[in-house]
Amino acid sequence: MTAVSRADFLRRFRRDRLAMFGLAVLILFALMAILAPVLVDDDALSAVASLDNPTWASPSGDFLLGTDHLGRSVAAQFVYGSRVSLFVGLMATIFTIAIGSIVGVVAGFAGKWVDAALMRLTDWFLVIPFLPLAIVLAAVLGRGIWNIIFVISITSWPSTARLVRAQVLTVKERLYVDRARALGASQLHVVRRHVLPNVAPLILASATLAVPISILTETTLAFLGLGDPTQASWGKTLEEAFQAGAISRGAWWYYLPAGLGIVAVVLAFTLFGRALEEILDPRLRER
């Protein structure tokens, strides 16, 4: 494997139009999430503050995306919903990657019984059916945004752990690791100087692919009524629209934005992550 220099990386990435498109979409959504308080007044989310608004209004100049069954602005829900979706997606990914990487590095590097024990644990988590566990945990722990993050993290770290472990095992066999040992390097030195830098790109790529999965999971849980009742998220919008009968009423403006938002963010992350993976993972690059 040869190192990917920064310039080389940027050049390859820029050539990938789909990845550039994904990145642009992500930047757009990120800006929207960050600037949400500036873009819309959060009063618009409150049913009480929306009492004077017409209900089930179709999109118009006053309400760009119409109103829901309580007269709340759908546009405001869409903008604020992006915050929760992206936040949950990112946080869950951070925990997933953190647990997965630590387990993967320790297992791969320590070897022997440590490896065996950790891999059994990983296998165990890997075969747990995800949705039932998520439902049970959400039900037991209560409905809250951090609980959702916890549920997603605890169920999705094993695949990262296996990926990282596999990479650590190959790096460990490299001659330059042997040389570092012969130079008198400690285990810690080898991990810090040789193993981590080689594993990091893979972790990064796998992280960008974990985000959309986390977002979809959050949507699923929210749609099943297990989301945080106090926060507007795209999944919750979909659930409420469904409960209020928006589909039979033909009020497409209520459910379509959230649905398309999810599709757009997931697709954008996937395109971006796929490109990162192709550039950074030598096994894919050779093809």
Partner 1 sequence: MSPDAQGPPTTDTLVSVRGAHVRFGAGRGAGTGAVRAVDGVDLEVARGEVLALVGESGCGKTTLIRSMIGLEPLAEGSIAVDGLEVTRNARELRALRRRAQMIFQDPTGALNPRHTIFEAVAEGLRIHRVDGDETELVTAALASAGLRPPERYLRRFPHELSGGQRQRVLIAAAMALDPVVLLADEPVASLDASIRGEILALMRSYVDTHGVSIIAVTHDLGLAWNIADRVAVMYLGRIVELGPTEEVLADPQHPYTRALLSVVPETRGLEQQILQGETPDPSRMPAGCRFHPRCPVVASGEAARLGIEARCRGEDPVLTQRSAGHTAACHL
CA–CA gap between residue 23 and residue 201 (Å, rounded) = 18
CA–CA gap between residue 60 and residue 149 (Å, rounded) = 36
Contact 143, 229 (CB under 8 A): yes
Residues in contact with partner 1 by CB under 8 A are: 1-3, 5, 174-176, 178-186, 189, 193-194, 197-198
Please, which residue, 170 or 220, has the CB nearer to partner 1? 170
* Nearest-approach distance from CB 286 to partner 1, in angstroms: 15
**Which spans in 16-71 are helix H?**
17-34, 36-39
CA–CA gap between residue 228 and residue 154 (Å, rounded) = 18
Please, which residue, 1 or 128, has the CB nearer to partner 1? 1
Please, which residue, 197 or 250, has the CB nearer to partner 1? 197
Please, which residue, 6 or 120, has the CB nearer to partner 1? 6
* Nearest-approach distance from CB 183 to partner 1, in angstroms: 5
* Nearest-approach distance from CB 206 to partner 1, in angstroms: 19
Please, which residue, 194 or 274, has the CB nearer to partner 1? 194
Strand, helix or coil for residue 143: coil
Please calculate the CA angle 41-42-44 and round it to the nearest 5 degrees: 80
Contact 93, 218 (CB under 8 A): no
Please, which residue, 73 or 167, has the CB nearer to partner 1? 167
* Nearest-approach distance from CB 165 to partner 1, in angstroms: 20
* Nearest-approach distance from CB 277 to partner 1, in angstroms: 18
The residues near 187 (Cβ < 8 Å, ≥ 6 apart) are 109
CA–CA gap between residue 17 and residue 45 (Å, rounded) = 37
* Nearest-approach distance from CB 115 to partner 1, in angstroms: 19
The residues near 14 (Cβ < 8 Å, ≥ 6 apart) are 20
Q: How long a stretch of residues is the chain? A: 287
What one-letter code names the amino acid at 18?
A: L
